[in-house]
Structure 1
Amino acid sequence: MDTRKTIETYLRAWMTQDPDLIVTIFTDDATYHERVLQEPIRTRAGIRNYWQTKVVQEQANIEAHLINLYSADDGTTVIAEWEAIFDDLVQGQRKRMREVAILEFEGEQIASLREYWASEPWSPDRPAVSSAVERSAGG
């Protein structure tokens, strides 16, 4: 199972705003918790719709970098940390976001994704996203 490749596809789909690419890495009946205290988005079709409305219509000029990647001993769970900078078209400002995602895999595809994130306004005079130092731990 090449989870790093799947995470790289996730980030590439985000940066290129490609809802057709993002669904290729999810199982047919996947769940996607964009906000963990709310109901998850269900199925590939639901995930594609979310990406079309949230990522394609509400974000632009996205840069994202993987920071850390950890594999749990169970062989199916991965924890990924990444940072992104993007234009929030709804709020009319550039933002920086740091996220930790817990992903459960079935083979090469994501069966469940739970996102925990925070964002803040970002200005061009701040330093760029730091170069990713990737670490792998666990099984």
Structure 2
Amino acid sequence: MTDLATWMDAYIRAWHTNDPDDIAALFTEDAAYFTEPYAEPWRGRDTIVREWLARKDEDGPAAFEYEPVAVEGRTAAVKGVTTYPDRVFSNLWVIRLDGEGRCAEFIEYWMEHPA
């Protein structure tokens, strides 16, 4: 799915810049962002931007590698590894894009690697 690669590139850019416009461009107006599978999601683009910035990673020596593991229509599962200088996380994301390449639903599962 070409939209997925474009969206992932934009997500990584937003992660590094923490620019509100970069973040907002990722999501539909009524998107739902689940920070954990069973948590109450952040609902709506403005809420997602606000909550993202309240928990933002500072740009620095962190890296993210990913690969899609399943794509069905406009929904994809993406496996990733986020590496910080002192911690490493495995990620599994379920991303549902709309017809314009913006995310309508984002669910993340993450696990910290043992020290």
How much has 1:79 moved relative to structure 2? 1.0
**1:26 Cα deviation from its structure 2 partner:** 0.5
Alignment of 1:44-123 (within 5 A): 44-56=45-57, 59-61=58-60, 63-73=62-72, 75-86=73-84, 94-107=86-99, 108-120=101-113
Deviations 1:56-104 (A, max 9, x none): 5xx452523232114433x1101112221237xxxxxx32121110001
Following the alignment from structure 2 to structure 1, what is the Cα–Cα distance between the partners of residues 32 and 61?
24
Change (3 A) 1:41 1:13: same
Q: Structure 1 residues 117 and 53 mapped into 2: Cα distance closer, same or farther (>3 Å)?
A: same
Does structure 1 conserve the Cα–Cα contact (< 8 Å) formed by 2:92 and 2:110? yes
Bigger radius of gyration among the two = 1
Find the aligned partners of 1:70 and 1:98 in 2 and give their Cα distance: 14
CA contact (8 A) 1:66 1:80 kept: no
| Matched letter for residue 65 of structure 1 | F
How high is the sequence identity, in percent, across the aligned residues? 27
Aligned-residue CA RMSD in angstroms?
A: 2.1
1:21–1:85 CA distance, 2 compared to 1 (3 A): same
Gaps of 5+ in 2: none
What residue number does 1:133 align with?
A: none
Give the drift of 1:121: 7.0
Q: TM-score, normalised by structure 1?
A: 0.71
Cα gap change, 1:121 to 1:9, in 2 (>3 Å): farther
Maintained 8 Å contact 2:90/2:113: no
TM-score normalised by structure 2 residue count: 0.84
SS at the partner of 1:72?
A: strand
The equivalent residue for 2:31 is 30
- The 3-state SS of whatever aligns with 1:48 is helix
Deviation for aligned residue 1:51: 1.1
Q: Which amino acid is the alignment partner of residue 78 of structure 2?
A: A
The one-letter code matched in structure 1 to 2:60 is: N
**Where in structure 1 are there 5+ consecutive unaligned residues?**
88-93, 123-139
